[in-house]
Structure 1
């Protein structure tokens, strides 16, 4: 089936997949690989002590860095094994098992990040809904950063069209997390998105309605 979550499909076919993923990144860290590039960019985007959503947080690789930088981090991932590691290794964070297509958290965020090709693992039919829900969790001036590779089955133009459908507009397009410009030849996209004016106004009306209940 093509319209299914690829991560769940891999775990179902291979119950040891998550454990090997966890060990792979532990080995990379032990070998001295720099695994903090995404988090450094998010830290630069956020004011001190910001509230940050780590969407598809895995073991907390990005969120853990941001916690140590002094931010409040809430992470969500649908893999219980990965969330268990995040809770054990980064106890200052708030880590939830959940599907991003059903994201419904209390409060709003200054920045949301969806790194590690996460957006390419979700079921294609849920992409717009996930982007919409991520946008809905942002504060009025909040921003969402999404990064993924060109070889992951999600064309960059299709992503940008889905983001527009979800009420998000690009503020910055990069080809890496270390701020290199995006070009037509780029094989990786880091998109920094914000709500469109129309979506921000509609969301404000919804939030105001909730506050009066």
Structure 2
């Protein structure tokens, strides 16, 4: 994307539209840390969490001063709350089958009052990695509602374009109800 001149930091730019630094951000499912590193550069207090230790090793090598934690999103407990809990990079459809409700509950437990849980993911095969199952938007909404989170906004992408149900991508913003 960067080689084509595309913005590779759309997720971080989206966060800047929600809260100002030094707000606390949990990059849940951070992978190799691209977004967490960018948010740190922008002045946010960031924690990156991922279940995959190999991914976290890459993140730690890239930014050894950041707070990287191994965590399963269906059962994690960090003992702290965040202004934004961010799930980017198709985390929702890549979850282990049957864990979305548990993940939503753990996300809700980690968002601060007045904060937001932000999930961006593909809604069809064209917007997902090969072989990745589609998670219907209604399934996300049920899980978030059951976890005590209410839909605040929905967009077609990280650029904040209005959501269109015929599109293949969604960024949903939920807040404690």
Q: TM-score over 0.5 for the alignment?
A: yes
How far has the Cα of 1:173 moved from its partner?
0.6
Matched, 1:172 2:153: yes
Question: What whole-Å deviation, never above 9, does each CA across 1:17-55 have from its counterpart, x for those lacking one?
Answer: xxxxxxxxxxx5456542100111012211220110000
Aligned to 2:14: 41
Matched, 1:89 2:62: yes
Larger radius of gyration between Structure 1 and Structure 2: 1
How far has the Cα of 1:92 moved from its partner?
2.9
Matched, 1:71 2:52: no
Structure-2 separation of matches of 1:114 and 1:86: 16
Structure-2 separation of matches of 1:89 and 1:55: 17
**Which 5+ residue runs of structure 2 have no aligned equivalent?**
125-132
**Structure (1/2) with the larger helix percentage:** 1
Structure-1 separation of matches of 2:90 and 2:43: 25
Q: Secondary structure at the match of 1:186?
A: coil
Aligned to 1:130: 103
Aligned to 2:85: 112
C-alpha contact 1:144 1:193 (8 A) present in aligned 2:
yes
Count, aligned residues: 169
C-alpha contact 1:63 1:73 (8 A) present in aligned 2:
yes
Structure-2 separation of matches of 1:167 and 1:123: 21
Q: Which runs of 4+ in 1 moved over 3 A?
A: 28-33
**Structure (1/2) with the larger strand percentage:** 2
Q: Secondary structure at the match of 1:124?
A: coil
Aligned to 2:164: 183
**Which 5+ residue runs of structure 1 have no aligned equivalent?**
1-27, 197-213
TM-score calculated relative to the size of structure 2: 0.90
Structure-2 separation of matches of 1:85 and 1:184: 36
Question: What whole-Å deviation, never above 9, does each CA across 1:128-178 have from its counterpart, x for those lacking one?
Answer: 111111111111111010011112410111211121112111100111110
Backbone CA RMSD of aligned residues: 1.4
Matched, 1:144 2:117: yes
Q: Secondary structure at the match of 2:86?
A: strand
Mean alpha-carbon deviation: is it higher for 49-58 or for 89-98?
A: 89-98
Counterpart selection for 2:176 from 186, 192, 195: 195
